[in-house]
A and B are shown apart, each in its own frame.
Chain A
Amino acid sequence: MLVVTCIKQVPDTTQVKVDPVTNTLVRDGIPLILNPYDTNALEEALRLKDKYGFRVAVLSMGPPNAELTLRKALALGADEAILISDRAFAGADTLATSNVLACAISKLSEKEEVGFVLCGKQTIDGDTAQVGPGIAVRLGYSQLTFVDRIENIEAGRKTVRVRRKLEGRHEVVESFFPAMISVVREINHLRYPTVPMRLNSKDARVTIWDNKVLGLDPNTVGLKGSPTWVSKIFSPERTKGQILGNGMADPEGTARLLVEKLKEKEVLTF
């Protein structure tokens, strides 16, 4: 059985600044990293491989340089890496992206049964958390979002039990698979590749699929297939804070003041 992990190479947004004049992201010299949530999705897929013997395929839609990220996934133990890259796919919103990814996954399922699609909860550049659910809907898979633990998989009954991390509570859900599972950071830590794994992945082949392979209607992909577009990006103005209390001179009083303020804002409720 195949576990497909969708990953995305994103600009390291801790470093991204918005140009105040043009209101666009300043991307010059900003390193590209693997979307942090996707590292957890990848790790979870690798753990399923270790535990159940599933095969792991990593899938990424992006420019040709995204191959580096896929190669890293291969170094970590993924069995297959596919880069979906075509000029026609550029400028896609979440709808067009999930359309392309769903098409690629169904193509993979022609050869081998796909049991799970693992995604990060969201990406740190778009922050929509829509692509995972979009894939699930298009493929007719169960949709399990914000998962912080995969508790059990029963191959016979084709069920999976997961724990979802919601605000202030957990929810344990059982569902049939194939399923799309989107994961939160708490689920695991990404393993570190050994050097032999890295060296072997140097020659590993990353398969590249373009629209000739996928054969999607050009009007449903890329900019053309995207009903949403970004009209403006800006940094919200930050109102200046205020220093209260006497700091180190009166640590007890400062701490008391802090607790009062937190209660006032209903951050503390006891």
Chain B
Amino acid sequence: MSLFFALFFVISIVIFAVSCYSTLGIVRHGLPENRFDNPGKRFNNMLKYGFGQKLLFREPYGNVHFVMFWSFLIFAAADLEMVLRCIFPVFTGISDKVPPVALLFDVAPALTLLAVLIGLARRFFLPPANIKDRSNDVLKMLAVIIILILAYFGSRGALVASGRSLPDYLPLSSFVAGFMANLSPENIDFLASCFLSVPALALLFFAVYVPYNRHMHMVTAIPNSFFRSLEKPSALKAEDFRAGNTFGAGQVNRFTWKDLLDTYSCTECGRCDAVCPAANTGKPLSPKRLVSSIQENLLANAADLKKGRKPSVSLIGEGKASISEEAIWSCTTCAACVESCPVSIEHLSKTVKMRRHLVQMEAKFPEELLGFFENMEQRSNPWGMAPSERTKWHANADVKTFEAGQTEYLFFVGCAGAFDSRARQVTIAFTKLLNAAGVSWGVLGNQEKCCGDSLRKLGNEYVFEQAVNENKKTFADKGVKKIVTHCPHCFNTLKNDYGLEVVHHSELISKLLKEGRLKFKSAANTGKVVFHDPCYLGRHNGMYDQPREIIAMTAGETPSEMGRSRERSFCCGAGGGRMWMEEYTGTRINRARVKEALGEKPGTISVSCPYCLIMFEDGLKDEGAFNDVSVKDIAEMVAERI
């Protein structure tokens, strides 16, 4: 009998392993990418995000998942011990010898059961809004787990009833054993065998079921947290521009193996959809569906890939196993999805890879972008204004020119700060602060060119690379060491993509205020202030406190917070090159955000990004609140008081 079980068990394990391998083996068709570097940090991430489930604790239910996860792991160990004890009677296990383990092995499965029941209750009575198109996969899975746990108690109860296990530290199993007290030893043995067949059957069930649906995350989530990107969410790989090369991801095997593994880690929990500015304003982009569509495309092309043929189902296009162009262009690269994903999926880089393909291989993009790309190539600024206009604001400010070896900070004005009439006022306000605090600063004037942020996020890596080379040369020629900018897009690009030493003006102003180098002369006149976190300052660079400190010092009270702030801030709609595109579908993202801000009844909406400034002012006009509420950059708020 035990030999039969042993065999059955081994076969189930083999089938499970083979089926996982054959499913995940397809990931090998992705491009190579090194995700084994810096193992210490990766291990740490695995503990934090994998075993620690860090990102799940944002909502109360995260506690239940945490209990389910850990108690299930302990239950798995307990069940394994039990199966081994039943198959090999000589093996007495450890739980009988170590009372705390015995207690743990008795309590943990009960906790799993409890967590599963809470999960089911939540599913039926309080379904979370972000799980929209939910499948019933989870019900089958949870049913199997419940049966598995009940069978476990049955088996352990049989062990107690037959006297092979001490009842002292097994309160629940002893309770089950009580029902078997009147049975003969043969009958108990028979019952034990029946119960024991359950884990083997369950394993078989998992083997044929898990690899083909989202419960695969039980296998892949932990490794995926090890392979988690160690870089910022906007970090993108450069391309090797050599004739004969292909650029971007136009077919599924142009993603890396980690991109493909991501799709198997997705639990379809919908946290990404819940925070996505595009998904929440009626655009055809759902980060969750983006990930599942990539997997569907991979599976649809599996036969081709295995035979070494070109995938026949197109990655980009209409249809269930493809991603629509409109979805790809709807992304604002705000990284809310990446930031909220508990299983370390990188949505943003996948989107940019597909944009790279569309722009660079097919020259296919929304028509507004043609003008944008030409402006960038011919005039080095998105507005397409004459480069000579870049210094127009100089007439209204006391401007210093950058002198090699003498000037400390290069003030990188940015295209918005130089060309947009509203953002120019921020530039002028900031120069007032620099001068008042006696900071050594200077500008490049007409020699400044666009940093290329939007180019890169729109997938025009080729022209971005040209911009980087030109700018780097100018910086080197001029001897630029330190840069300050008031645009988070310039800040992020120059800092993370160029690798330069850059401070955002919120850092510098906050430092100057703390050091007492800026003295207030007049009283604050801002009314209630609500602060909006720019994605490229906050989520992309983790700077949430500096602007708030400035507002606290300037307005006299800490800013009021919108429901979605800091890590969960909702994009203004201008990131990822969306600044230069029309928003035809759904509600405008900036209007949604402005409505949210107006809910706080502010006198001033404070921002620290010129794009946010433009988007908020437009949104206020649309909402008819432009004359009642003002939008101000933090630099303007400070400049008004000195």
- The docked-state distance in angstroms from the alpha carbon of A191 to that of B364 is 10
- Least distance between B316 CB and chain A CB atoms (Å): 15
Q: Are A191 and B363 in contact (CB under 8 A)?
A: yes
Which of chain A's residues has its CB closest to B373's CB? A192
- The docked-state distance in angstroms from the alpha carbon of A199 to that of B365 is 20
Say yes or no for B436: interface residue by CB 8 A criterion.
no
What sequence of 0s and 1s flags, for each residue 444-474 of chain B, a beta carbon within 8 Å of any chain A beta carbon?
0010000000000000001000000000000
Q: Are A199 and B241 in contact (CB under 8 A)?
A: yes
Which of chain B's residues has its CB closest to A199's CB? B243
Question: What are 21 inter-chain pairs, A to B, with CB distance below 8 A?
Answer: A12-B378, A15-B387, A29-B446, A31-B378, A31-B379, A189-B367, A189-B370, A191-B363, A192-B359, A192-B363, A192-B370, A194-B360, A194-B361, A194-B362, A194-B363, A196-B243, A196-B247, A196-B361, A199-B242, A199-B243, A200-B243
Q: Are A12 and B241 in contact (CB under 8 A)?
A: no
Say yes or no for B94: interface residue by CB 8 A criterion.
no
Say yes or no for B476: interface residue by CB 8 A criterion.
no
What sequence of 0s and 1s flags, for each residue 138-160 of chain A, a beta carbon within 8 Å of any chain B beta carbon?
00000000000000000000000
* Interchain residue pairs A-B with the least CB separation, the first 6: A15-B386, A195-B360, A199-B243, A192-B363, A195-B462, A194-B363
Q: How large is the interface on A (under 10, 10 to 19, 20 to 34, 35 or more residues)?
A: 10 to 19
Residues of B in contact with A (beta carbons under 8 Å apart) = 241-243, 245, 247, 359-363, 365, 367, 370, 373, 378-379, 386-388, 446, 462
Say yes or no for A202: interface residue by CB 8 A criterion.
yes
Q: Which residues of A contact B386 (CB under 8 A)?
A: 12, 14-15
Q: Which residues of A contact B373 (CB under 8 A)?
A: 192
Most buried by A among B242, B446, B462: B462
Say yes or no for A193: interface residue by CB 8 A criterion.
yes
Main secondary structure of the interface of A (DSSP, over half): loop
| A-B pairs under 8 A by CB, number | 43
Main secondary structure of the interface of B (DSSP, over half): helix
Which of chain B's residues has its CB closest to A26's CB? B388
Which of chain A's residues has its CB closest to B461's CB? A195
Q: Which residues of A contact B367 (CB under 8 A)?
A: 189
Query: Which residues of chain A (173-200) have a CB below 8 Å from chain B?
Result: 189-196, 198-200
Q: Are B361 and A15 in contact (CB under 8 A)?
A: no
- The docked-state distance in angstroms from the alpha carbon of A199 to that of B462 is 10
- The docked-state distance in angstroms from the alpha carbon of A195 to that of B379 is 20
- Least distance between B291 CB and chain A CB atoms (Å): 27
- Least distance between A8 CB and chain B CB atoms (Å): 15
- Interchain CB contact (< 8 A) of B241 among A15, A194, A195, A203: A195
- The docked-state distance in angstroms from the alpha carbon of A198 to that of B53 is 47
Q: Are A12 and B379 in contact (CB under 8 A)?
A: yes
Residues of A in contact with B (beta carbons under 8 Å apart) = 12, 14-15, 29, 31, 33, 189-196, 198-200, 202-203
Which of chain A's residues has its CB closest to B388's CB? A15
Q: Which residues of A contact B361 (CB under 8 A)?
A: 194-196
- The docked-state distance in angstroms from the alpha carbon of A119 to that of B245 is 35
Q: Are A33 and B462 in contact (CB under 8 A)?
A: no
Q: Which residues of A contact B362 (CB under 8 A)?
A: 194
- The docked-state distance in angstroms from the alpha carbon of A50 to that of B241 is 27
Q: Are A202 and B243 in contact (CB under 8 A)?
A: yes
Q: Are A195 and B388 in contact (CB under 8 A)?
A: no
- Least distance between A111 CB and chain B CB atoms (Å): 28
- The docked-state distance in angstroms from the alpha carbon of A195 to that of B363 is 8
Most buried by A among B242, B243, B362, B379: B243
Which of chain B's residues has its CB closest to A194's CB? B363
Q: Which residues of A contact B387 (CB under 8 A)?
A: 15, 31
Other than A193-B363, A199-B241, give 19 A-B pairs with Cβ distance below 8 A: A14-B386, A15-B388, A31-B378, A189-B367, A192-B359, A192-B363, A192-B370, A194-B363, A195-B241, A195-B247, A195-B360, A195-B361, A196-B245, A196-B361, A198-B462, A199-B242, A199-B243, A202-B243, A203-B243
- The docked-state distance in angstroms from the alpha carbon of A107 to that of B597 is 69
Q: Which residues of B contact A12 (CB under 8 A)?
A: 378-379, 386
- Least distance between B128 CB and chain A CB atoms (Å): 43
- The docked-state distance in angstroms from the alpha carbon of A190 to that of B89 is 81
- The docked-state distance in angstroms from the alpha carbon of A233 to that of B243 is 46
- Least distance between B312 CB and chain A CB atoms (Å): 22
Q: Which residues of B contact A202 (CB under 8 A)?
A: 243
Q: Are B378 and A33 in contact (CB under 8 A)?
A: yes
- The docked-state distance in angstroms from the alpha carbon of A14 to that of B367 is 23
- The docked-state distance in angstroms from the alpha carbon of A33 to that of B384 is 13
- Least distance between A125 CB and chain B CB atoms (Å): 15
Q: Which residues of A contact B446 (CB under 8 A)?
A: 29
- The docked-state distance in angstroms from the alpha carbon of A191 to that of B363 is 8
Q: Which residues of B contact A198 (CB under 8 A)?
A: 462
- The docked-state distance in angstroms from the alpha carbon of A12 to that of B362 is 28
- The docked-state distance in angstroms from the alpha carbon of A29 to that of B445 is 13
- The docked-state distance in angstroms from the alpha carbon of A138 to that of B363 is 39
Q: Which residues of A contact B247 (CB under 8 A)?
A: 195-196
Which of chain A's residues has its CB closest to B447's CB? A29
- Least distance between A162 CB and chain B CB atoms (Å): 25
Which of chain A's residues has its CB closest to B384's CB? A14
- Least distance between B570 CB and chain A CB atoms (Å): 31
